[in-house]
Structure 1
Amino acid sequence: MDFIKKELVELGVDSGVAAYLAAIAVIAAIGLLCVAANWLTKRVVLGVVTSLVEKSRFQWNHYLLKRRVIHKLSHIVPAIIIYYGSFSFTDYQPIIEKGVMIYIVVVLLITVDAVLDVLNDVYTTYDIAKMRPIRGYIQVFKIIFYMIGIILVISNLIGESPLILLSGIGALSAVIMLIFKDSILGLVAGVQLTSNDMVRVGDWIEMPKYGANGDVIDISLNTVKIQNFDKTITTIPTYALISDSFVNWRGMQASGGRRIKRSVYIDAGSIAFCTPEMLERYKTIHLLEEHILDKEREIEHYNRERGIDRSNRVNGRALTNIGVFRAYVQRYLEEHPRVHRGMTCIVRQLQPEPCGIPLEIYAFSNDVGWAAYEGIQADIFDHLFAVAPEFGLRLFQNPSGADLKGMIGTERVYGRAVDM
């Protein structure tokens, strides 16, 4: 800059004006050099790197481009030029150097942030990522790097060693713990969730307290995102999965069987002993023929052995229509192609209730998909509702308007009641 000032003074320019013109010329030259260097870096260097990455077979190279790591790092080039150009401005050199160093620290922090994102992106391509997500740990590292960056910036501004600032962090530990309370709790919870394999990305979990019932789509340092079945998103604090209880349906999905547990309510007034005519009719049912023959022989042997008088049907043992129906349902489920053969399959009678005798079906479908499961369950109970009257059984339901109308035995014709 002194050379330019000297040349201007020799040309007859006032020394004060020459100093300003020389400074402007140097600033313009440094600015043009920075623009040229930035253009050269982005157009040439990044162009070459991009072409090499696109030809590469390594997946992580593509994530480097996606996260613009090299693009962000290229911003250091103009800063280096400005740093060395500051020697031309002796009076302002310390201020310029501090500004440039702060800028370089910020660029490096942004670049490190992008590199950590690339690391997480590459990790998610592996199957283990669903069982052991590392996004929470990545966020912890980001916090650490940003804290280091802030310390470097402050130490550069005040002209002191970073170690002096680090020594004062102990006194601020209580404040730091208060500010980063959620992050600390989330980190501890994330470690427990991962080490105990409590939840993974893709798991179906249910947490009624937070209105969550759906698939886990993201596990981060502070939150767990769940996409409910109505496509809404519920965000739950990570530590809540440790402090509160939740249901994880992963075991059901992995087992290959989904439980069917529903009852058919039988009207107690329709239960009766089977007559010979009823038994003959039941024998024509393919699933019951062998069962009824075996039961008849067993009951006949029991009654004859004990000399029981069967002239009164109360004496001894006899088949009932609800017992035959229960045996039919059991065999129907065992023969059903969509019921899991390797899991529990029970038809049981529960304690009588005001609405009838519950006949519970406890079985497992062999398809855990929601739509398929509901279809299998509906198919089973559609059949049971239709077949129950064939056994002389009535299914219980609360009286409807038609039932009350039949009980009264009247209907209104032409505005007056007529006895039916």
Structure 2
Amino acid sequence: MFSLINDFLLSYKLSENLSGFLSNIIVFGIMLIFSYIAYLITNKYIMKILEKIIQKSKFKWDDILFRKKVFHSLGHIAPAIVILSFSSTFSVFNEGFKRFAISYIVLSIIFTINGILRTISDIYESDSKKYRPIKGFIQLIQIVLFSLGGILVLGILINKNFTYLLSGIGALTAVLLVIFKDTLLSLSAHVQLTANKMIRKGDWISMNEYGADGNVIEMTLNTIKVQNWDKTLVYIPTWALINSSFKNWKGMEQSGGRRIKRCIYIDFESIKLFDKDKIDNLKSKNYLSDFLNNFLKSMEIKHISNLTLFRKYLVYYIENNNKFNTKMTYIVRHLDYTEHGLPLEIYVFSKEKSWVEYEGVQSELFEYIYSVIEAFELKIYQLPSYDNFKNISLSN
């Protein structure tokens, strides 16, 4: 093509230098026009036809491939091929155009492979049954892909062998290790976390060091994204989960219940012995009669502590309440006494594990305890308030 245009210009008595210069410009313009036409055909018309075919398809993977612009990346190969075919027609810079076109094709292939990798990640992550996240591994492959692709493109542009460039990079290994230290640490941590099933997307984790207490919503090679219950977002370096401790509530969610462990403080002055008359008085209360009949039937007791009765009743209440999992450990016990009274600890597992329902069960339990404790003539310890001191001063 160049020679035809050049001969045509020479026929108009132009100098060889001028005709050669103009011929190169004309060939360059024709190349741009054909490249643009190739781009329009592939990215406008062919892509629209392909989009209609994909919309009618029942498969979801082709929709994701189109959304990730995988086919658009392939569309860039067409104008690159046009440039490559025209490169030999130039009288100057033909080798440069050739290298540029080959580099363009290589980059298009790299971005196509990258789009396929992102599609694989999206399809895999969309399946909630998939336990092990692969986003970190996909990101690792992407790093290798772009690193090797970048070296290959650089080698093509400067006309150096790929292995020659790799050997040069080998001499910079120490520098690269320093630059990519965090990435390498995160890679090692990500492999350990996923291989040992320590964490996955959707897990509830707590990590006080980073102020994290919520669900894992994203796992990448370098960071773990956690959405706290107050909807704030926390980004934790992946390696930090290996170097520091964190709490994963997955065990609780997979078990038969969520633990309730709370104390009430009994006033020492209210602890006393109950005789038969006081016990009979308790029997008159409908909600206590069944418990007392069963409890007293098993033993002959003339005098018993009101605290013992109350403690045994709470155990009875838990055993007969279907909101608690009695197949798991449950106990009502008192701990070492303190200046605030005698701690009575209730340790039981609620069948409800989600936050709102669990808090509801826990609140109902202690609201009931606060309501019935007076029947046993027990008092919950409470620090004196202003009204207490006011009443004392008035009485004096």
Pick aligned residue for 1:366 from 351, 354, 365: 351
Alpha-carbon distance, 1:386 to partner: 1.6
In the other structure, the counterpart of 2:374 is: 389
CA distance in 2, matches of 1:272, 1:41: 91
Unaligned runs of 5+ in 2: none
Q: Which has the larger radius of gyration?
A: 1
Deviation for aligned residue 1:160: 1.9
Structure 2 partner of 1:330: 315
User: Contact between 1:287 and 1:328, CA under 8 Å: does it hold in 2?
Assistant: no
Structure-2 separation of matches of 1:67 and 1:373: 42
1:52 aligns with 2:56: no
CA contact (8 A) 1:287 1:331 kept: no
1:87 & 1:255 partners in 2: Cα distance? Answer: 71
- Displacement of 1:241 after TM fit? 1.1
Instruction: Please show how residues 343-354 of structure 1 align to structure 2 within 5 Å.
Output: 343-354=328-339
Q: Alpha-carbon deviation of 1:84? A: 1.2
User: In structure 2, how many angstroms separate the alpha carbons of the residues matched to 1:78 and 1:49?
Assistant: 19
Partner Cα distance (1:329, 1:183) in 2: 54
Identity among equivalent positions (%) equals 37
- 2:83 aligns with 82
Shift of 1:253: 0.8
Query: 1:297, 1:341 → 2: CA distance?
Result: 23
**Contact in 1 for aligned 2:276/2:303 (Cα 8 Å):** no
Alpha-carbon distance, 1:293 to partner: 4.1
Structure 2 match to 1:3: 4
> What is the Cα deviation at residue 201 of structure 1?
0.5
CA distance in 2, matches of 1:13, 1:122: 63
CA drift at 1:294: 5.4
Is 2:305 the partner of 1:320? yes
Which deviations, in whole Å up to 9, do the C-alpha atoms of 1:280-325 show, x marking residues without a partner?
Answer: 111123454354345556654x7xxxxxxxxxxxxxx621111111
Partners in 2 of 1:381 and 1:128 — Cα distance?
38
Residues 39 and 79 of structure 2 are in contact (CA less than 8 Å); yes or no, is this contact kept in structure 1?
Answer: yes
> Match of 1:337, SS?
coil
Matches within 5 A, 1:251-330: 251-293=251-293, 296=296, 300=300, 318-330=303-315
Residue by residue over 1:159-186, the C-alpha shift from the partner in whole angstroms, topping out at 9 and shown as x without a partner, is 2211112223332221221121112111
Comparing 168-177 and 36-45, the one that deviates more: 168-177
**TM-score by structure 2 length?**
0.94
Residue equivalent to 2:135: 135
Q: TM-score under structure 1 normalisation?
A: 0.89
The offset of 1:249, in angstroms, is 0.4
Give the equivalent residue in structure 2 for 1:151.
151
Q: Once the two structures are superposed, what CA deviation does each residue of 1:79-98 show, in whole Å capped at 9, x if it has no partner?
A: 11111111221221111122
> For residue 41 of structure 2, what is the amino acid of its counterpart?
L
Post-superposition Cα deviations, 1:222-278, rounded to whole Å, max 9, x if no partner, equal: 111111111111111111111111111001111141111011111000111113331
CA distance in 1, matches of 2:325, 2:284: 27
SS at match of 2:58: coil
Matches within 5 A, 1:101-140: 101-129=102-130, 131-140=131-140
- For 1:229 and 1:203, how far apart are their aligned partners in 2? 13
Write out per-residue CA displacement over residues 353-372 of structure 1, whole angstroms, 9 at most, x where no aligned residue: 11111111111111111011
Residues 117-136 of structure 1: per-residue CA shift (max 9 Å, x gap)? 0111121233343x211111
Partner of 1:311: none
2:189 corresponds to 1:189: yes
CA distance in 1, matches of 2:117, 2:160: 29
Partner Cα distance (1:142, 1:296) in 2 = 73
* Matched residue type, 1:209: E
Q: What is the correspondence of 1:63-102 to structure 2 with a 5 Å cutoff?
A: 63-102=64-103
Aligned to 1:177: 177
8 Å contact kept, 1:260–1:364: yes
Q: Is the 8 A contact 1:133 1:219 kept in 2?
A: yes
Structure 1 unpaired stretches of 5+: 303-316, 411-418
Partner of 1:35: 36
The CA distance in 2 between the partners of 1:214 and 1:190, in whole Å, is 19
Cα distance in 2 between the residues matched to 1:154 and 1:193 = 36
**2:274 aligned counterpart, secondary structure:** coil
Superimposed CA distance per residue, residues 65-85 of structure 1 (whole angstroms, 9 cap, x where no aligned partner): 110100122112111111111
Q: CA RMSD in A?
A: 1.9
In structure 1, distance between residues paired with 2:291 and 2:163: 87
For 2:233 and 2:346, how far apart are their aligned partners in 1? 34
Offset at 1:14? Answer: 5.3
Question: How far did residue 204 of structure 1 move?
Answer: 0.3
Q: Distance in 2 between matches of 1:299 and 1:69?
A: 80
> 2 CA distance for matches of 1:268 and 1:20?
107
SS of the aligned residue for 2:24 comes to: helix
Matched residue pairs, number?
395
